[in-house]
Amino acid sequence: MKLYLLYTGGTIGCVGTPLAPLQGPKFVKAFKDNVEGTITTQISGTTIHYDWFEKTLDSTNMQPSDWLLMANKIVDNYEGYDGFLILHGTDTMAFTSSALSFLLPNVSKPVIVSGSQLPLFFQNDSENCTLLYNTDALRNVLGAIEFATFKMPEVCLYFDDYLYRGNRVVKSNASEFTAFTSPNFPALGEYGVLPVINNSMLMPQPKNKAIDNHIPQVKQILQTIKANIDSTATIPLLMFPAYYNVNGDESLLVSMIQNIMKSSPTIKGLILEAYGEGNVPSYQQMQNVLKSIHGSGTVIVDCTQVYQGDVNYNAYATGAWLKSCGVISGYDMTAIAAITKLIVLNAQYGTNDISQIEQLMVKDLAGELTSYYSLSGYQNQFLSPGQCLYSLNGNYQFINNTTGSLILYDLTGTKPAAIWQKDLGVPGRLVMQSDCNLVFYNNDFDPIYASNTPQIGTNAFFQLENDGSLCIYDLYTNSLIAKIN
C-alpha cells in the first residue's frame, strides 16, 4: 500500500510544556525514527509519503479554509496513493472529518483522520524524540493504517480501536482515550485481536461517479469553494430556557439571533440546536425572526441538541410551526455534520437561490443522514411497520402501515389524503434489495409482494419524489428503472 500521510499538528505532534505541535520536518524525523519501521516491516509492501502544514496548528485554531488545504492536498495526490491518513488535533477533528466527506464526494479510497489524547513523542533534547510512555497515539496511528488496507470508499475517523464514518462522529470525552462516539450510526470497524470491518455499513464503491474519473472537475469545485468559504458564515444556536415577554418584544434568544445576523462575514446558515425532537420556543417573536431571516436568504436547519436520536418536528406544536417559517429538518445529522455541510454547500453554490441548498441539505450526500425520502439497497434498506418516507418538499408521505398496507398520502391539504394504496393483509417490512427489487416480507420472512424490477445495475434506491411518484433508480447512474405508482 502506498500511503499519503498528512500531518497538520494537534496533540499527536505536541511536545514541551505547555504542549505545542512540532513543525512538520521535526515531526517526520521523529516518526521515521520511532514508528515507520514498525509499519513498513509488519504491513507488507507499505510505503509512506509525508506531507505537512507549513504552519502546524492546534486544532482549536482550525478554520474552514484549512479544510480546503487538506482537501486540495488529497486531490492533488489522489491518483498516486492507495490511502490517505490525516493526523489532526481532537478538538475539531469531528468537524474536519465531516467537512472532508462533503469536499471529497464519491471517494473510492480510504481517507482516515486520526490523532490522540496524549502526544506521540517525548522530546529528549532539541533534536531527538522517543515514544511517549502510555500514549494512545501509537495505537491510533497503527490501527488507522491497518484499516486503510481494507480500501473502504469512505472519509473516516479512527480513534481508540474504532473506525467511524467521518460525518457521524462527535467528541464525547475530553479526558479519556475513548474520545469519540457515533451516536446515530454504527461503527464501521473495530480493532480487537484482529481488525474487523462491517462491510454492510460501508458506502458502496462509487464506480463511474468516483473522484478518480473527475479529478479536473473536483479541483475546479474546490477552487470555487475556496474562493467563497470565508465570505459567508454558518453558526449554531443552542436553545436554552431564556426570558421572553409574550405580550411584548423582549426576548433574549431573539435578541441574540438579531445581533448575530449583523455579524461579518454575513450569516447565511443557521443551525438550531433544538430541544428533543426539534422543538423551539414558539412565541410570536421567535416565529417572526426566523421567518424574516429565512426570507432574507439564510438557510435554517433544525437539529437536536440531544446526544442521540433524530428530529421529528411535526410531533409537537412547539416544532410543527418551524416548517411555515422555512426551517428544514436535520433529521439524524449531528449539528457538526449540519454545520460543515452547510458551510460547504453555501460556498459551492452561492446564496442567491437557497432552495437548491435546502434540497441538498436534506439529501444524503455522503452517508451523513438516514434518508427520510428514499430506501437504498446498501443503507437504510427497509421500512418497518409504522415507518414512513417523505418527499423532499414535505408534500407527500409514504407509509408502511402497521395493518399491512402501503399508503401514499398527499399532505398539501387541510388533512392527509390517500392517493395510492396497496393492501397486503399482514404487517411486514418493505425492503429495497441490492438486486433492484422492492420486496414486502411478512413476519415469517415470506415475500408477498415484489416490484419485479429489471436488474440494470448492482444496486438501487427507492424514492418518494416531490410530485408524489414512487420511483426506483439505479444507485450509480441515477437513471430511472421503474415507477411504482
Three-state secondary structure call for residue 196? strand
**Peptide linkage before 265 cis (omega within 30 of 0):** yes
**Structural domain contains residue 257:** yes
Q: Give which of 210, 233, 203, 201 is closest to 104, Cα–Cα.
A: 210
Q: Kindly state whether residues 354 and 304 are assigned to the same domain.
A: yes
CATH no. for residue 427?
2.90.10.10
Answer for the pair 480, 462: CB distance below 8 angstroms, yes or no. Answer: no
- Which range among 144-148, 438-442, 456-460 shows the weakest confidence by mean pLDDT? 456-460
Q: Which domain holds residue 337?
A: 232-361
11 is catalytic: yes
Answer for the pair 167, 337: CB distance below 8 angstroms, yes or no. Answer: yes
**54 pLDDT above the threshold of 70:** yes
CATH no. for residue 356?
3.40.50.40
**Structural domain contains residue 368:** no
Answer for the pair 11, 20: CB distance below 8 angstroms, yes or no. Answer: no
How far is it between the farthest Cα atoms of the chain?
77
Q: Kindly state whether residues 416 and 457 are assigned to the same domain.
A: yes
Q: Kindly state whether residues 429 and 338 are assigned to the same domain.
A: no
CATH no. for residue 80?
3.40.50.1170
Pairwise CA distance, residues 113 & 318, whole Å:
38
Pairwise CA distance, residues 449 & 461, whole Å:
17
Please give the average per-residue pLDDT across 93-109, as a whole number.
97
Q: Kindly state whether residues 50 and 195 are assigned to the same domain.
A: yes
Q: Kindly state whether residues 422 and 332 are assigned to the same domain.
A: no
What pLDDT is stored for residue 126 in this prediction? 73
Number of domains in the chain: 3
Label residue 460 by pLDDT band (50, 70, 90): confident
Label residue 442 by pLDDT band (50, 70, 90): very high
Answer for the pair 328, 64: CB distance below 8 angstroms, yes or no. Answer: no
**Structural domain contains residue 369:** no
Q: Kindly state whether residues 263 and 197 are assigned to the same domain.
A: no
Q: Kindly state whether residues 179 and 238 are assigned to the same domain.
A: no
Answer for the pair 338, 361: CB distance below 8 angstroms, yes or no. Answer: yes
Query: Percent of the chain, pLDDT > 70?
Result: 99
**Structural domain contains residue 29:** yes
**457 pLDDT above the threshold of 70:** no
Q: Kindly state whether residues 188 and 210 are assigned to the same domain.
A: yes
Please give the average per-residue pLDDT across 427-455, as a whole number.
89
Q: Give which of 374, 370, 365 is closest to 398, Cα–Cα.
A: 374
**Structural domain contains residue 211:** yes
Give the global pTM. Answer: 0.89
What integer best gives the mean pLDDT of the chain?
A: 93
Please give the average per-residue pLDDT across 439-466, as a whole number.
86
Q: Kindly state whether residues 208 and 89 are assigned to the same domain.
A: yes
**Structural domain contains residue 139:** yes
Greater confidence (291 vs 200) lies with 291
Pairwise CA distance, residues 246 & 324, whole Å:
20
Marked catalytic residue, from 11, 135, 181, 232: 11
Q: Kindly state whether residues 97 and 74 are assigned to the same domain.
A: yes
**454 pLDDT above the threshold of 90:** no
Question: For 209-247, what is each residue's pLDDT tens digit?
Answer: 899 999 999 999 999 999 999 999 999 999 999 999 988
Domain boundary among the residues 327, 361, 395 is at 361
Question: For 348-389, what is each residue's pLDDT tens digit?
Answer: 999 888 989 998 998 889 999 987 788 887 766 888 898 888
**Structural domain contains residue 366:** no
Q: Kindly state whether residues 407 and 334 are assigned to the same domain.
A: no
Question: For 71-83, what is each residue's pLDDT tens digit?
Answer: 999 999 999 999 9
Element (H or E) spanning 345, and its range?
helix 335-349
Domain boundary among the residues 306, 336, 361 is at 361
Q: Kindly state whether residues 205 and 240 are assigned to the same domain.
A: no
Q: Are strands 20-21 and 14-15 parallel, antiparallel or unpaired?
A: antiparallel
Domain boundary among the residues 313, 339, 361 is at 361
**Structural domain contains residue 435:** yes
